Copies of this chain bind each other. A is one copy, B any other.
Amino acid sequence: MKAFFIAVGSELLDFKLNTYTQILSNKLGEMGIKLNHEATVEDDFDEILSATKYALSRSELIIICGGLGPTFDDLTRKAVSILTKRKLIFSNYIYDFLKQKYRFKRLKKNLKNQCMAVENAMLLENPNGTAFGEIIEFNGKIIILIPGPLNEWLSMWDKIKDFLSKKLNSKKRIYSVRFKIADLKESELEKALKPITKKDFTILSGPNICEFILRGYDKRKIEKLKIKVEKIIGPNIYGYEEDTIEKKLGELLKQKGKTLSIAESCTGGLVSSRITDIPGSSAYYLGGINAYSNEIKTKMIKVNKKTIKKYGAVSEQTAYEMALKSRKIFDSDYSVSVTGIAGPEGGTEDKPVGLVWFGISGKEKTLTEKRIFLKKDRSYIKEAAANTAMFLLYKMIK
C-alpha cells in the first residue's frame, strides 16, 4: 500500500518547517506502508480540494493533516465532503464529547464547526484539542483526517494503526530494529555487515555516529539478524531506537553512582551542554572547564606549560593532562577532555582542520584517542568531537 500525505497550512510554505513527513513515514513504514508523496498546500479551499483530488488519483491511502480547526472554516472537511459526495453532518457524539470536556451549556459558535463530520466517517477522539480525526472509506480508498498539532494527532495514532492493520494483510507488517552506532565509518559499517544483510537496510549518517536500520517482514529473521549484527559491531553500538549517547552515558553513570567532569577546548562547551540536556544530570555531572585559550588550559586545568610548548595544545600529551587533571580538580570519578582544530582557520599540514585528541580518565587509568574528521565544517567537527568524547567515556565506564 502506498500513502499520500497532504499537510495543510500556509505557515508551512512560509516560515515553519514541516517535520511531520518523517514521523508519519516512520509510523507508516512500521506497518509496511510506503509514503511516496507529500504535498504542502496553503489554507485555501481550492488548493486543498485540488490536491486531495490529485492524491485520490494516485494513492489508496490519503492522510490530510490540518485545516480542521474552528478558525479554518472547515476547509479540509468540506473538500473531502465534496470529493466523496458525502454530506457534512452534525455529530451528536462529538457534541456530547466536547460538552463534557469543556463543560459548556450552550454550544459556542466556534465549536459548532468542530461538531461537523463527513457522513459515515469513523470518528477519532481528540484528548488534546477540539478537532476530531476522521477515517473515511471511499471507493476502495482510505482518507484519514488528522488535526495539525503533533500531540493531537499522535494521540489518535493507535486507533489509526489498528484500523490500517486490519485493512492490511497482517503478514505484511514490517519489523525493524534501529541500531545507534558511534565511532564507525559508514564504509566500514557496510563492509562489516554486507555478508549478513541483504538490501533491506538503511544507514543514516551523523557526525561520527550513525543509525543502522534493519527492516523486514519476517520477525524471526530480523531477530536473528539483530544478534548477528551485535556480534560483529557490538562495541560500537551504544543504544537502540530513540537512544542518544548523552542519555545512555547518563544512565550508566547514575546506575553506577559515579560522577563526571569535562575539560573542553575545540568543542567549547558543547559536550557539557549535551550532557546537561538530560533531566537529572546534576546527579552525576559536577561541571567542566571550557579552556579555549592556552593560558586557561595551564591556569585553570593545570596543564603543564612545557607540555603545551613542546607538543602544542592539540596533542596527545595535552589531551592526557587535561583529562587527568580535570578529574583531580573536580574530584570526579571520570573526566573526558577534547582538544582539536574545528576550523576553518588554524589547520597545518601536521595538524589539519578536523584533528581532535581525546583524553578519558578514570580512577584506574587515563587513555587517549585521536580522530581526524574529514568533513571540513566547523559545526560538524564540534558535533563529531562531542559525540566521540561521550562515546569513548561510555565505552570506558561500561
Contacts and interface: CB of A to CB of B under 8 A. Distances in A.
A21 B35 contact: no
A58 B40 CA distance: 14
A279 interface: yes
A202 B292 contact: no
A21 B18 contact: yes
A179 B42 CA distance: 25
Contact of A290 (B15, B41, B287, B346): B287
Interface in A275-330: 275-277, 279-282, 285-293, 295-296, 300, 329-330
Interface stretch (A87-95, A193-201, A262-270, A354-362): A262-270
Contacts of A344: 279
Interface string A21-40: 11001000100000111111
A379 interface: yes
Q: Which residue, A21, A44, A346, has most C-beta atoms of chain B within 10 A?
A: A21
Given A12-B21, A202-B14, A38 B40 contact: yes
Interface residues of A, number: 67
Given A267-B273, A276-B292, A292-B276, A37 B36 contact: no
Contacts of A289: 287-290, 300
Given A37-B51, A330-B296, A277 B379 contact: yes
Contacts of A239: none
Nearest to A271: B269
A371 B276 CA distance: 20
Number of copies: 2
B273 A273 contact: yes
A15 B176 CA distance: 14
Given A288-B290, A293-B287, A277 B38 contact: no
A110 interface: no
Q: Which residue, A51, A204, A293, A378, has most C-beta atoms of chain B within 10 A?
A: A293
Contacts of A74: none
A17 interface: yes
Contact of A269 (B36, B288, B300, B345): B288
A269 B273 contact: yes
Contacts of A38: 12-13, 18, 39-40
Contacts of A346: 282
A291 to B, nearest CB: 5
Interface in A241-273: 262, 264, 266-273
A327 to B, nearest CB: 13
Contacts of A100: none
Given A14-B22, A15-B204, 13 more contacts: A14-B25, A14-B29, A37-B40, A37-B41, A37-B47, A54-B54, A267-B273, A268-B281, A269-B288, A273-B382, A277-B382, A287-B293, A300-B300
5 contacts: A14-B22, A36-B42, A269-B275, A288-B292, A289-B289
